Amino acid sequence: MQQIKIAQGLREFPRELFDHAETLQALDLSDNQLCSLPADFSRFRQLQRLFLTNNRFDEVPAVLAQCPNLTMVSFKGNQLQRFGQGTLPAGLQWLILTDNQLTELPDDMGRYQRLQKCALAGNQLHHLPDSMQLCRELGLLRLSLNQFTAFPQWLFTLPKLAWLALGANPATPVTLHSEIPSCPLQDFQLQETLGVGASGVIYRALAHGDSAKQLGIALCAVKQFKGWLTSDGCPKDEMANALNAGRHANLIPVLAQLTGGDLPGLAMALVPASFQSLGKPPSFASITRDTFDPSRQLSLAEIWRLAQQVTSVMAHLHSRRLVHGDLYAHNMLLDASGQLYLGDFGAATALDGLPPSQQQAMQQQEVAAFGYWLADMMTLLPTAAGEPTIGLQTLRTDALHSGAPHADSFQQGARSNNTAEQDTSQQCGHLQHMLSAALPLQQLVDRCLQPQVQLRPSFAQLEVEVAAIASQQTV
């Protein structure tokens, strides 16, 4: 057996699991009452993923360091107070410690040099160990809702860090300066559920009474937050940042903030059912990169038009001193006409409290998220036969492991894949032409993923450049 999940209020580790010690790769013991692991837990030599969410651990068990193949660990929602040195395997790639009581990280955090995703929101951290600057593969980092009064400068130089959340810390206060009105929640009749996210539930709603008159609408969407902490940060800050984001053609209009409930809420414009998510969240394999329906395809012209909208809305947010923090295709809605909406401010950070140099650097870090998004869009280009391009699939694989391929290797891919696809000279010629036509996109990806953060373009620059190219595209 390779995967096991048990949620039965366990107080002790079930020894019978060792019957599968030679084959078990994924173990999920979330939602139990465990507080320790057996000393011989390292017998699970093939274990890759361990979920211990919502248990009663107060320290990270040191025995985990002896599990050589373990790459993903979750202790979300425990009572962790201690995270000792050398307690996890050096090959760790994905660490989730959200919603615990940690006041510090081990001084040897730098030993986790393969770490790509690290969720630490909702603890009591007030500093990062300097060794953590050795975690140069880190792409996503959540530090929201901690006790940071300042952040180290090296944090803003990590070459692959693209999705960073720092909100709800003393260093990143949010001041609500929106003029969007407030309405009582009881003026909205909640109907069917439209969606469920990390921070809340979205309903179709019918406004009535004074709120309907004030907003000038009847049907709308209502987002009710589920709690005061999510995997990305704090719903209270999420609401304030969504309000402060203001109006833009590629943001779902926020109509009102809702009062009178136990938790914050928002009334938003109702997005037509014709809009669908552009992508799907990352998988265990892709870690920080979105996944896509195999049938999803986009033309070059469509990609440029989408890029124009994304750079426009991101330039707008950055001009309002907001970093989105979660710039992903799975947070974008798209309809058949190509209209795009960017949503989900759960990982957003208000920049005003940071030093100017860190404000600029954090914005340039987010440009890398756009670079990864654009690289993902390129994998959706079809061939003449209507199938995803072998060359682009190869490039995506490279990008998942090393950021993104350089434009030089992109050109070489056209030559190597012509050898691999000898069905017809016409098909090879089409592939060569398509890769050549896509070269400007790849060059843009290279600029956005420039390892030296300060050399990346701003979204204000990208908005102008991409708009000029998009205007020249034909269907």
Give residue 213's pLDDT band: very low, low, confident or very high (50, 70, 90). confident
CA pair distance 138, 36, nearest whole angstrom: 28
Residue 433 is predicted with a pLDDT of 66
Q: How many CA atoms lie within 13 A of 433 on its CB side?
A: 9
Token representation of residue 113? 């040099």
For residue 206 the two structure tokens come to: 């019918």
Output the furthest CA–CA distance in the chain (Å, rounded): 69
The pLDDT, as a whole number, for residue 215 is 86
What 3-state class would DSSP assign to 234?
coil
Structure-block tokens of residue 356 = 């100017």
Q: What DSSP string describes 256-316?
A: EEEESSSS-EEEEPPPPTT-EESSB---TTTTTS-B--TT----HHHHHHHHHHHHHHHHH
DSSP class per residue in 158-177: -TT--EEE--SSTTS-----
pLDDT tens digit sequence for 395-429: 444 444 445 545 554 455 444 455 445 555 655 66
User: What count of other Cβ atoms lies within 10 Å of the Cβ of residue 436?
Assistant: 12
Q: Which helix (H) or strand (E) holds 214?
A: helix 209-215
Phi, psi of 26, rounded to the nearest 5 degrees? -135, 125
pLDDT at position 393 is 43
| Fold exhibited by the domain 182-268 | Phosphorylase Kinase; domain 1 (3.30.200)
pLDDT for 201 beyond 60: yes
Torsion on CA atoms 280, 347, 314, 337, rounded to nearest 10: 30
Q: Tell me what the mean pLDDT of segment 353-365 comes to.
A: 98
Residue 346, classed as helix, strand or coil, is coil
Mean pLDDT value of segment 334-341:
96
CA distances from 433 to 316, 333, 398, 418, 439 (A): 35, 30, 21, 11, 10
- 216 φ/ψ angles, rounded to the nearest 5 degrees: 75, 20
CA distances from 243 to 143, 260, 265, 348 (A): 22, 18, 11, 12
Superfamily classification of domain 1-138: Ribonuclease Inhibitor (3.80.10.10)
182-268: same fold as 1-138?
no
Reported as a pLDDT band with limits 50, 70 and 90, residue 299 is: very high
The mean pLDDT of the chain is 90
Q: Which long-range contacts (CB under 8 A, 24 or more apart) does 424-432 make?
A: 426/384, 427/383, 427/384, 427/385, 430/383, 430/384, 431/383, 431/384, 431/389, 431/390, 431/391
DSSP helix/strand/coil, 448? helix
pLDDT at residue 262, rounded to an integer: 80
Coil, helix or strand at residue 204: strand
Is residue 365 within 8 A of residue 314, CB to CB? The reply is no
Per residue in 141-182, pLDDT (tens digit) is 999 999 999 999 999 999 999 999 999 999 999 988 878 889
The SS3 of residue 371 is helix
pLDDT digits (tens, 9 = 90+) for 270-279: 999 999 999 9
**In this model, does residue 385 exceed pLDDT 60?**
no
Whether 124 has a pLDDT exceeding 80, the answer reads: yes
Helix 459-470 to helix 300-319 angle, to the nearest 10 degrees?
150
DSSP 73: E
- Is 3.90.78.10 the CATH number for 276-470? no
Is pLDDT at 87 greater than 60 in this prediction? yes
Angle between helices 439-448 and 425-437 (to 10 degrees): 40
**CA–CA dist 326, 369 (Å, integer):** 8
pLDDT of 424 reads 56
pLDDT tens per residue across span 442-466: 999 999 999 999 999 999 999 999 9
| pLDDT, position 432 | 67
* Least trusted range by pLDDT, from 37-41, 195-199, 285-289: 195-199
Of all residues in the chain, what percent carry a pLDDT higher than 90?
76
pLDDT at 216: 86
332-334 and 276-277: which strand pairing? antiparallel
1-14 confidence digits (pLDDT tens): 999 999 999 999 99
Strands 200-207 and 188-196: antiparallel
Out of 341-345, 430-434, 471-475, least confident range = 430-434
Give 79 or 384, the one with higher predicted confidence: 79
Give yes or no for residue 188 having a pLDDT over 80.
Answer: yes
More confident residue, 395 or 232: 232
Flag whether pLDDT at 229 surpasses 80.
no
- Residue 48, both tokens: 């890759």
Distance CA 250, CA 459 (A): 15
Instruction: List the domain boundaries for the chain.
Output: 1-138, 182-268, 276-470
Distance CA 25, CA 430 (A): 42
